A = this chain, B = another copy of it.
Amino acid sequence: MVRGAKLHITGAVNSHELLVVPTRALKEEDKDYAVSFAVPAETEGVTFVYGRQPSDTRRLEERRPDVGNLYYGGCESMVVFDDVFVPEERIFMKGEYPVTGRLVELFAAHHRASYGGCKVGVGDVLIGATAAIAEVQGTEKASHCKDKLAEMIHLNETLHAAALASAVKGVQTPSGAYAVDPLLANVCKLNVTRFPFEISRLAQDIAGGILVTMPSLEDQENPDVGPYVKKYLVGKSGVSGENRMRLLRLVENITLGTGAVSYLTESIHGAGSPQAQKIMIPRFCDIEAAKSYAYQLCGIEDLK
């Protein structure tokens, strides 16, 4: 029987199975917590409490005019295990506390490297939406807009580069599976905790204040104000105000709305908070070698 809770469980409410593993290195006195097992999500005693997020109820509005991203979205919840029974054959770890440190380290490294793909894909969408808005609004040739868009791409690709590097420097483990390079995986994630905020800022800079002042897309149909909305929000070269607003709603979704949960806050805390990376990075760096280079170059012979 298992009892406990996990406060942050992304996407679990739409999963069939819950796989439970320890979340940190455990010692002998923590032995009872050194467990791993899987149960179906609908097992008796398992309860999800669905989280509330920015702009969440827009998804429930009729016709969902202002949802921004028509097809995708995430969800967060807390999950509670209240005396859940786990059959023996579904238990994968039961007290083997000495392996928990290595398990967490490997899991964390993979998770951290994966953010250099996951968040970078969202970054691609944001870059595309922002470039499109600049065109629709006629600012795509302004030198500062070009510079800001180039900076967005640069930051996004810097995130991606570390994920690629951690994969290519990966090594095969005895099981046959490959493990990413943990130093570069942590470097990847630490950048992910920072750059999406700057990318978002640049996207909002290019998008303009209209991002947060424009009416609902539904107001276009309103007999009183619809004609005004269509007239005054029209884009360059006859691009409809509707298209302009749809692009802006997508940027709002990613930088201030439901998508920001995943693109901003989760980029900080998912796969471990920034301080976890700050602790791991020096641990995986060969500082002693670096010191020995310095000693040699400056002529110190009695230190090493």
Contacts and interface: CB of A to CB of B under 8 A. Distances in A.
A49 B239 CA distance: 21
Interface in A276-296: 277-279, 281-282, 285, 287, 289-296
Interface stretch (A85-93, A99-107, A160-168): A160-168
Contacts of A277: 154
Nearest to A225: B49
A65 to B, nearest CB: 9
Interface residue tally of chain A, by bracket? 35 or more
A216 interface: yes
Contact of A215 (B50, B228, B296): B50
A144 interface: yes
Interface in A163-205: 164-166, 168-169, 183-184, 187-188, 190-191, 193-194, 197-198, 200-201, 204-205
A68 B298 contact: yes
Interface in A248-300: 249-250, 252, 256-257, 260-261, 264-266, 268-270, 273-275, 277-279, 281-282, 285, 287, 289-300
Contacts of A52: 66, 214-216
A131 interface: yes
Interface in A230-253: 232-233, 239, 243, 246-247, 249-250, 252
Contacts of A214: 7, 51-52, 78
Q: Secondary structure at chain A's binding surface: helix, strand, loop or mixed? A: helix
B162 A129 contact: no
A237 to B, nearest CB: 11
Number of copies: 4
B243 A158 contact: no
A153 interface: yes
A249 B49 contact: no
B190 A161 contact: no
A292 B252 CA distance: 18
Contact of A260 (B164, B232, B256, B274): B256
Contacts of A96: none
A173 to B, nearest CB: 20
A72 B9 CA distance: 32
Interface of A: 5, 7-10, 47, 49-55, 57-58, 66, 68-72, 76-78, 80, 82, 124-129, 131-132, 142-144, 146-147, 149-151, 153-154, 157-158, 160-162, 164-166, 168-169, 183-184, 187-188, 190-191, 193-194, 197-198, 200-201, 204-205, 208-216, 219, 224-225, 228-229, 232-233, 239, 243, 246-247, 249-250, 252, 256-257, 260-261, 264-266, 268-270, 273-275, 277-279, 281-282, 285, 287, 289-300, 302-303
